Amino acid sequence: MEENKDNIVELTIEDLAFDGKSVAHMDGKVVFLNGGLPGEKVEAFIFRKKRKYNQGKVVRLLTRSDLRRETRCIHFGGCGGCTWQDLAYEQQLEFKSKQVKDCLERLGHLHDTEVREIIGSERQFFYRNKMEYSFHTSGDDSFTLGLHVRGRFDDIFDLDACHLQSEVSNRVVHWMRDYVKEKQIPVYDVKEHTGYMRFLMIRNTTRTEQTMVNIVTNYGEFPESEEMVQSLLKTVPEVTTVVHNENGQKSNIAVGEKETILHGTGIIEEELLGKRFRISSNSFFQTNSLQAETLYSTGFDMLEAEPDDRVLDLYCGTGTIGILLADRVAEVIGVELVEDAVRAAAENARLNGVDNIGFFQGHVKDFLRENQERTEAISAVIVDPPRAGMNPKALKQLISLNPHKLLYISCNPSTFARDAAKLVEAGYSLPAVQPVDMFPHTMHIELVGRFYRN
């Protein structure tokens, strides 16, 4: 829609939506806006009109909210990373708690479940241990290296500094941009599927202070890789390992089909709650290491595990939860679909001397259906599914298993509420949930809930 006077309106912002947008009303319809905070009067450009709602963006601030704060990042507003960096952190937590409560009541119809006081993050900046930066070219000799423009999957801006990952990562990004320019290495074109440089992934550890640089390219060896490594280490000596992943697929994801270690061991190690975990370039690990300790400790306290418990850890990833819990229980069985993650989980168990845990590769629904004899002795279940929540067939199988204790760790309140409603309908109760903020300045929120068999 063309920006003209007819599409510029004056609105008062009333609330914040689940996706970080602000909420106003106009002509009896809801308006979702990019920008703005509750209590502010704004001029907004309405760029999309639907039957039940409109969409727009704030173009001028008329009155300023007391909740507004100066942002640290020069990219805020245009970057797709932070959505709430201009909102006081205490209010971020308040709105996230409201999001959890709204989902439980509106989607799950669970009006009696207590939403406990949210646990905030000790670090509000430089808390991420992983970031993916993208290369982008428009077809000429110029390119950008950075993060996505807000709302645009096909546009990348040149990053000066991100305040969510470590300061070391910012120096790596600057070095990489200069190096690719100097050596005139062609950047991948996502439309033409030509060129070489695709992604730069950086992983840091908090407890052990290790840094991995993962360069993801199109097919082919990295040119003069030894010279590249020496240049990087000279500029950023904190880097402990460098890997090169080749990905020639059209799907634009920073996962390689073939990996070559260019420097170091190809892994970094992080410590959580006294255990040590190896992290490879493509393995999953909680993105906020310090707050992951809080999340898991909270969950274990709610689970109230006993020494004779036999625990089923579903969607176990690289085994972090099960390995941390293993000292408290008799046995842990982990189930995970991704084969590489299962191998990493077994390796992490060996690394920590944990011998009362085993891992199975496959779909959760298939494992629960095909291993009824193995699961008969299970007394407790932990689920930590992806954002989509539990597969409906897997949830049905889990209900049939009828565990006495069920701990659900979720990164998506809406799918948690959907699954919780089915569990309550099947005879479980959910007295309380505990929100934990893993990602300050974003709209994302994690929560933990323990279900009791009535």
Least confident range from 34-48, 142-156, 304-318: namely 142-156
**Structure tokens that stand for 280 in this block:** 């490879």
Mean pLDDT (whole number) for 296-316: 97
Q: Highest mean pLDDT: which of 15-19, 199-203, 341-345?
A: 199-203
CA-nearest of 425, 388, 393 to 410 is: 388
pLDDT reading at 332 higher than 80: yes
pLDDT reading at 3 higher than 70: no
Mean pLDDT (whole number) for 6-21: 88
Note whether 241 and 279 are within 8 A (CB). no
User: pLDDT band at residue 373, thresholds of 50, 70 and 90?
Assistant: confident
Least confident range from 102-111, 243-252, 320-329, 422-431: namely 243-252
Report the largest interatomic distance among the alpha carbons of the chain, rounded to a whole angstrom. 70
- Per-residue pLDDT, 150: 83
pLDDT reading at 245 higher than 70: yes
- Residue 451, helix vs strand vs coil: strand
What is the DSSP track for 311-325? EEEES-TTSHHHHHH
The angle that helices 392-401 and 413-425 make with each other, rounded to 10 degrees, is: 40
User: pLDDT band at residue 424, thresholds of 50, 70 and 90?
Assistant: very high
Helix (H) or strand (E) holding 396: helix 392-401
The angle that helices 225-235 and 167-183 make with each other, rounded to 10 degrees, is: 140
Note whether 74 and 59 are within 8 A (CB). no
Which residues are CB-contacts of 220 (< 8 A; sequence separation ≥ 6)? 196, 246
Residues listed for the chain: 454
Alpha-carbon distance of 76 to 271, in angstroms, equals 32
Mean pLDDT (whole number) for 291-312: 97
Q: How far is CA 194 from CA 130, 191, 254, in A?
A: 27, 8, 16
User: pLDDT band at residue 154, thresholds of 50, 70 and 90?
Assistant: confident
Q: What is the mean pLDDT of the chain?
A: 94
Q: What percent of the chain has pLDDT over 90?
A: 86
Neighbours of 101 (CB within 10 A): 18
Domains and CATH numbers, the chain: 5-61 (2.40.50.140), 93-122+288-453 (3.40.50.150), 130-272 (2.40.50.1070)
**Structure tokens that stand for 207 in this block:** 């407890």
What is the DSSP track for 139-197? SSS-EEEEEEBTT-TT-EEEPS--SSS-HHHHHHHHHHHHHHHHHTPPBPBTTTTB-SE
Burial of residue 78 (CB within 10 Å: 0-12, 13-18, 19+) is: middle
Cα end-to-end span (Å), the chain: 55
CA-nearest of 147, 271, 274 to 209 is: 271
User: pLDDT band at residue 420, thresholds of 50, 70 and 90?
Assistant: very high
- Per-residue pLDDT, 5: 63
Q: What percent of the chain has pLDDT over 70?
A: 98
pLDDT reading at 426 higher than 60: yes
Hunting for tokens 């991704």 — which residue is that? 338
Would you please indicate which residues are annotated as catalytic (active-site) residues? 411
Residue 263 CA, chain-centre distance (Å), reads 27
CA-nearest of 106, 166, 99 to 444 is: 99
Burial of residue 284 (CB within 10 Å: 0-12, 13-18, 19+) is: middle
Q: What is the dihedral of CA 229, 232, 237, 240, to 10 degrees?
A: -50
User: pLDDT band at residue 17, thresholds of 50, 70 and 90?
Assistant: confident
Handedness of CA 15, 17, 22, 25 (dihedral sign): negative
CA-nearest of 175, 186, 203, 73 to 136 is: 186
Alpha-carbon distance of 146 to 174, in angstroms, equals 10
**Structure tokens that stand for 434 in this block:** 């505990």
User: pLDDT band at residue 196, thresholds of 50, 70 and 90?
Assistant: very high
- Per-residue pLDDT, 295: 97
The angle that helices 413-425 and 89-106 make with each other, rounded to 10 degrees, is: 40
- Per-residue pLDDT, 263: 98
pLDDT reading at 1 higher than 60: no
Q: How far is CA 295 from CA 175, 386, 418, 450, in A?
A: 35, 16, 21, 13
